[in-house]
Amino acid sequence: MPQSYIERILRAQIYDIVRETPLDQAVGLSERLNNVVLLKREDLQPVFSFKLRGAYNRIRGLSEREKAGGVIAASAGNHAQGVALSAKHLGIKALIVMPKTTPLIKIQAVKAHGAKTVLWGDSYDEACEHALQLAAQKGMTFVHPFDDPEVIAGQGTIAMELLRQHAGPPHAIFVPVGGGGLISGIAAYVKYVYPQVKVIGVEPEDAPTLYTALQKKRRVTLQQVGIFADGVAVKQIGKETFRLARALVDEVLLVSTDEICAAIKDLFDDTRTVAEPAGALAVAGLKKYVARENLEEQSLIAIESGANINFDRLRHVAERAELGEQWEVLLAVEIPEQPGSFLRFCRAIGKRSVTEFNYRYANSAQAHVFVGIELAGGGAEREQVLQQLTEKGYRVVDLTDNETAKLHIRYMVGGHSPGVNSESLFRFEFPERPGALLNFLTGMGQRWNISLFHYRNHGAAYGRVLMGVQIAHGDKRDFQAFLKELGYPWAEETDNPAYRLFACGGECSDAVEKAYHG
């Protein structure tokens, strides 16, 4: 199967605009993991991502008639910039359809490369559908971000470079996966030259596009995907990319948001550059693979695929990196409501630093505190802390992996609201555009009362919202029907222990007992 792609990759004439990026050793990571960790630095491309390779290879091969008609693409980020710069270099007009939720910095970057932009819809899928319609109307050539043989071959030139740069076959190559163009191109070339080299895909836990397709042995469309690693937030793997990946990729690893943030920090420590979340995926997967396999003294390559990150997302990355490295544990702990109880708690955890302590008076008997504790020994010490506190008589809930606690509750610790009854809690992703909240509230009308509201934005296309709503018992089905009609991704969090302990409305005693006893 790879033969035709080998020929396409070898024929790719892209280096009049694409840079041959270095294969750099990550010295710090190598020492920590006791393996030689190498980074293929695609963040050093003119558009700060590998996407330029595939876009330029596709556009450069157009006929003169197609070039005269211009090119069109749908993208909210790296592919858009790759198409725009490629078209500018070749003197071809370009039109990029971007979701209305696209951050201004990305729109400006595309315009800076000479392309025109159209803002349409709230998602890539809506923008893509509109781009295809415009392509038919205007006679323009649609440049697909991943499911095109010439795009795949352009990305495959990365493998050609790194195998030339590396002395002999590495043990494994780790590749971020969105639509599959990058891993398909790399796997096609690597498996032809060195069949024994493992090609391992890495995806976020909340966007397991290829992982799910391989499990089910067919392409599937995910109902929703996580937005933190927006560069790989694709609901369905490509048809051609799945055909290649199914035959050539050894496995796909899933990593958490915290593990991605820790990998961004690792890359910064070793290169003094800031990768975007999708750009750090491969490093996060590499670390997970090394831990799982107890691997030592092997040569491992990670594709650092891009560095297009908004500055205002860095705060969120920094907050989560320590959790991803398991250098911090977040706990809910019940302590007596009496003088000296905080001092006794600090003595109970020993010579460890308290990184966070959130508390508000609830009643005269017991207090529930949200506490962060610094760890020196990673996951093993986390278990040790939990056991140590339990043995000293404290009731403890581990919130380290609780997304609602980390995104919202830690910023809201202010006590319960005993006057609020029939409260249900929901977590939403609101499109980051004017009118999104108004649209939501208009749809709700005056049937249900909002009793709690917390909003956070991390510089992404969607903001994170936690909302408490008073819903009478008989209205629950109607409210869920409203949510379905609204179309925003949501999840109910009423039974979340962090909410039960720190923010629930109404009578909370039963909720507290359930939180500590699971």
Higher pLDDT, 29 or 323: 29
Class of domain 415-517 as given by CATH? alpha beta
Indicate whether 509 pLDDT > 60: no
Pick from 141, 149, 152: nearest CA to 53: 152
159-169 mean pLDDT: 96
What pLDDT digit, counting tens, does each position of 169-185 carry? 999 999 999 999 999 99
Pick from 168, 32, 143: nearest CA to 80: 143
Of 100-104, 190-194, 471-475, 514-518, minimum mean pLDDT range: 514-518
Structure tokens at 114: 């000479």
Angle value at C-alpha 152, between 150 and 156, nearest 5 degrees: 110
What pLDDT digit, counting tens, does each position of 227-239 carry? 788 888 888 999 9
| Domain covering 326-401: architecture | 3-Layer(aba) Sandwich (3.40)
Higher pLDDT, 402 or 327: 402
The domain spans of the chain are 3-48+149-312, 51-142, 326-401, 415-517
469 forms beta bridges with 424, 450
**Confidence band for 476, pLDDT divided at 50, 70 and 90:** confident
Indicate whether 456 pLDDT > 80: no
Of 312-321, 373-382, 401-410, 429-438, minimum mean pLDDT range: 429-438
What pLDDT digit, counting tens, does each position of 262-275 carry? 999 999 999 999 99
509-518 mean pLDDT: 64
Pick from 397, 249, 268, 363: nearest CA to 325: 268
Structure tokens at 386: 């939990």
Mean pLDDT in the chain?
88
pTM of this prediction exceeds 0.75: yes
- 409-412: long-range contacts (C-beta < 8 A, 24 or more apart)? 409/370, 409/466, 409/498, 409/499, 409/502, 409/503, 410/330, 410/356, 410/358, 410/370, 411/454, 411/456, 412/454, 412/466, 412/502, 412/503
What pLDDT digit, counting tens, does each position of 45-76 carry? 999 999 999 999 999 999 999 999 999 999 87
**Confidence band for 362, pLDDT divided at 50, 70 and 90:** low
Higher pLDDT, 40 or 357: 40
What pLDDT digit, counting tens, does each position of 430-439 carry? 776 666 667 7
Helix (H, G, I), strand (E, B) or coil at 99: coil
What pLDDT, on the 0 to 100 scale, is given for residue 105?
73
> What count of Cα atoms within 13 Å lies in the side-chain half-sphere of residue 194?
19
What pLDDT, on the 0 to 100 scale, is given for residue 360?
65
Give me the amino acid identity at 441: L
**Confidence band for 107, pLDDT divided at 50, 70 and 90:** confident
**Confidence band for 117, pLDDT divided at 50, 70 and 90:** very high
Most confident of 190-194, 440-444, 457-461: 190-194
Class of domain 51-142 as given by CATH? alpha beta
Instruction: Catalogue the active-site residues.
Output: 51, 305
What pLDDT, on the 0 to 100 scale, is given for residue 180?
95
DSSP calls for 411-457 = GT----BTT--SEEEEEEEEESSTTHHHHHHHHHTTSSEEEEEEEE-
| Domain covering 3-48+149-312: architecture | 3-Layer(aba) Sandwich (3.40)
Query: Are 3-48+149-312 and 51-142 in the same CATH fold?
Result: yes
